[in-house]
Amino acid sequence: MSEKTILIVGTYDTKDDELLYMAERITSQGGGVLTMDISVLGDPSQPCDITKHDVAAAADSSIQAAIDSGDENTAMQIMARGASALTAKLHSDGKFDGVVILGGTMGTDVALDICQALPMGVPKYVVSTVSFSPIIPADRLSADIQMILWAGGLYGLNSVCKASLSQAAGAVLGAARAVEPPANDRPIVGMTSLGSSCLKYMKLLKPALEERGFEVAIFHATGMGGMAFESLARQGKFCCVMDFALPELGNLLAGSVINGGADRMLNAGKANTPQIVAPGCLDLIDFAGWQDIPDRYADRPFHEHNRLIKSSALNNEERRETAQAVAERMAKSAAPTHFIMPLQGIEEWDKEGDVAYDPDGLAAFTDEVRKVMKDPIAYTEIDAHINDQAFADAALQIFDAWVADGTVKV
């Protein structure tokens, strides 16, 4: 087994013992370590490979400037910028294989930036006193970040916190040894969906696209999935996106925490990636099971999907608003966009006799779609349901045309 090197990041002036303990755990298992100090005021007990001065310089600043700011938040944001830039450069240069970062709220704030600076597939572990806390907004989390609570370790080593620190050390080294990074040997189509009981088109599209020589990555559009989709779209990882499940956008407009972030539906366009879009599940609104329902929705019946999610329906006016929001975001794209409107329903329960069947609501949505889907957005209506073969065929026809004319890069 080849040796893997782990980058260890933390404030070595206050957490020297804990960081050195993790380094010992990694080296005892045959791994190598590279150390980065993001402290400001004090110094480590022994030299680090990347000093705090190196970190500050990478942010076009200095430790003295951080100190002179007189504000710890300002100082740590200098260190966050420098650490993120250096981490990305070090990884690009092949200097490490995974990263583990230790911190309280200050260190965690920096850790989240560092992890977002690294590509998917690089093991990223954060040992934090606020792991899983609601104070960490979902949009700060990189797509494949791992966290473990730094329990009982606020000040000094003990048997309780050693359990967390040693697990993190072993986990990041094991992940670095086992990870199979994205191969990047085939162009990737990014697709959004929900579970197949609700949206089924991926069962038809995935094998068809794979037969054409493409890889298909399907993202669960329940908040974090949409954020991962947007993160990769921002990096230009997709040759084309089939964004067919849009409840995260409706949820965003409704104030639900189950959303894909404020930049949902924007990043593919910014990266010049062509988009085929459809309104899958844009008739429903989802709230977290623990979330208080905003007053404007309180009089509606809600279906408890499970203890995590409860759902209800958008009214006609809200459905018009979502159509407008979709068109506004698609119109900002630097690449071609094409919207498909399935006239017979937009999710499995949107069929006659089923629980989400609302022909008036669908008619209002369709009417608004016809008004707002204007140039540069291409528009197609199909007299079919989104889960029908006809919908998949329409999407493939657009995709194949784009491959033929070079819009989709092969």
Residue 96 falls inside a structural domain: yes
Are 324 and 273 in the same domain?
yes
191-244 pLDDT tens trace: 999 988 899 999 999 999 999 999 999 999 999 899 999 989 998 999 999 999
Are 14 and 143 in the same domain?
yes
Residue 223 falls inside a structural domain: yes
Q: Which amino acid is at 62?
A: S
Are 308 and 336 in the same domain?
yes
What is the per-residue pLDDT for 162? Answer: 94
What is the per-residue pLDDT for 257? Answer: 87
Looking at the 3D structure of the chain, how many domains does it have? 2
Are 232 and 151 in the same domain?
no
65-111 pLDDT tens trace: 999 999 999 999 999 999 999 999 999 999 999 999 999 999 999 99
Residue 409 falls inside a structural domain: no
Residue 183 falls inside a structural domain: no
Q: What percent of the chain has pLDDT over 70?
A: 100
| Among candidate residues 152, 275, 288, the one with its CA nearest the CA of residue 223 | 288
Are 72 and 167 in the same domain?
yes
* Summary mean pLDDT of the chain: 94
Q: Is 294 helix (H, G, I), strand (E, B) or coil?
A: coil
Enter the tokens of residue 181.
């990074």
Residue 113 falls inside a structural domain: yes
What is the per-residue pLDDT for 79? Answer: 97
CA distances from 50 to 20, 43, 54, 81, 113 (A): 15, 12, 6, 14, 17
Are 290 and 376 in the same domain?
yes
Residue 375 has pLDDT above 80, yes or no: yes
At residue 152 the predicted structure's pLDDT band, cuts being 50, 70 and 90, is confident
Residue 106 falls inside a structural domain: yes
> Which of 123, 157, 178 finishes a domain?
178
Are 20 and 159 in the same domain?
yes
Enter the tokens of residue 34.
């590279």
Are 84 and 145 in the same domain?
yes
- In this prediction, residues 165-187 reach a mean pLDDT of 92
Q: Residue 386: give its domain's CATH number.
A: 3.40.50.12030
Which string of b and e fits 70-97 if b means at least 16 CB within 10 Å?
eeeeebbbbbbbbbbbbbbebbeeeebb
Residue 137 has pLDDT above 90, yes or no: no
| Among candidate residues 150, 136, 66, the one with its CA nearest the CA of residue 103 | 150
> Which of 151, 178, 205 finishes a domain?
178
- In this prediction, residues 259-283 reach a mean pLDDT of 96
> Which of 156, 178, 200 finishes a domain?
178
| Among candidate residues 326, 251, 260, 264, the one with its CA nearest the CA of residue 294 | 251
Helices 159-178, 16-28: axis angle to 10 degrees equals 50
Are 212 and 352 in the same domain?
yes
Residue 140 has pLDDT above 50, yes or no: yes
Are 374 and 331 in the same domain?
yes
Are 245 and 108 in the same domain?
no
Are 255 and 368 in the same domain?
yes
What is the per-residue pLDDT for 2? Answer: 58
User: Is 378 exposed, middle or buried (CB count within 10 Å of its CB: 0-12, 13-18, 19+)?
Assistant: middle
Which domain covers residue 116, as residue numbers? 5-178
Q: Residue 91: give its domain's CATH number.
A: 3.40.50.12020
What is the per-residue pLDDT for 1? Answer: 47
Residue 410 falls inside a structural domain: no
- In this prediction, residues 154-160 reach a mean pLDDT of 86
- For 18, other C-beta atoms within 10 Å of its C-beta total 23
